[in-house]
Amino acid sequence: CENCYTSFLLHVLLFILLTVIYLITLTGNLGMMVLILLDSRLHTPMYIFLSSLSLADFGYSSAVTPKVMAGLLIGDKVISYNACATQMFFFVAFATVENYLLASMAYDRYTAVCKPLHYTTTMTTSVCAHLAIGSYICGFLNVSFHIGDIFILSFCKSSLIHHFFCDVPAVMALSCSDKHISEVVLVFMSTFNVVFALLVMLISYMFVFITILKIHSAQGHQKALSTCASHLTAVCIFYGTVIFISSHSMDTDKMASVFYAMVIPMLNPVVYSLRNKEVKSTFKKAVEKAKLSL
């Protein structure tokens, strides 16, 4: 039938699109991590954060995208209880990690622009490692609260999740238990994580822009702005999508969730690599070495 053919064609096109997106995500994020690991010149604070961000992007994209691709390719839209909990755990954990890493990177940019003479003594490797590890600890503690909060509920209604993956609100909606306390905990934890990170970034960039306004040379303005451009772009993409999702209904935010779960992890390495001369230089050298070895 015509509708069946149209549906099949749509599934094939979506599968091809998601495959391309996921391959770019894997190549970009894993490639970024390898480049930073291999080049000693990139063993600096900013790149410690960037490699941690790439790992988080790879993590929460991989928690969702392969399962969605399998559903489109072979029509396998069933997920077990344990697999659903696992998918939710890693998606929420790595998304929260990215939230705190972006805040840590804002503080790094504040130090680089506002206190350049003290940058090397303030943002030491140890400090950066502690901030990155702290972001991961916050991410996994946060998701532990969510998983415990949701999976103590009883699920006796429909087992059909009205979403393309096991997102927290979509799974919680299936419960037949009294969800009031669980919903309050969910809203409180989510709001705290986002607002705290945004406050850190807003305060950091307030001081950054005050410092930039005090710079009299055009070259100084350009250098200061370029220092923050990639991070600001990543922040706008990430939090713009988060705010859009939180302000819309579950049906409306499905397409936004696709962008949030699959497209953002692909964009971050592109944003940072295209605007970063050191990354582009390291990549060119790696390509030249690979050509010579062939």
Q: What is the pLDDT of residue 137?
A: 94
Q: What is the pLDDT of residue 134?
A: 94
Q: What is the pLDDT of residue 253?
A: 59
Q: What is the pLDDT of residue 245?
A: 66
Predicted TM-score (pTM) of this structure: 0.87
CA 36/CA 58 separation, integer angstroms:
15
Angle at 245 between CA 240 and CA 248, to 5 degrees: 125
Residue 163 near residue 84 (C-beta atoms within 8 A): no
Q: What is the pLDDT of residue 11?
A: 74
Neighbours of 6 (CB within 10 A): 10
DSSP string, 120-179: HHHS-HHHHHHHHHHHHHHHHHHHHHHHHHHTTS---S----SSSS--HHHHHTT--S--
Local mean pLDDT, 10-residue blocks, the chain (294 residues): 66 85 90 82 82 90 87 77 87 92 91 87 89 93 86 74 79 80 85 92 91 79 75 83 64 66 83 67 67 63
Locate the DSSP E strands across 127-245: none
| CATH number for domain 2-293, candidates 3.40.50.1220, 3.40.50.720, 1.10.1060.10, 1.20.1070.10 | 1.20.1070.10
Q: What is the pLDDT of residue 173?
A: 80
- The domain locations on the chain are 2-293
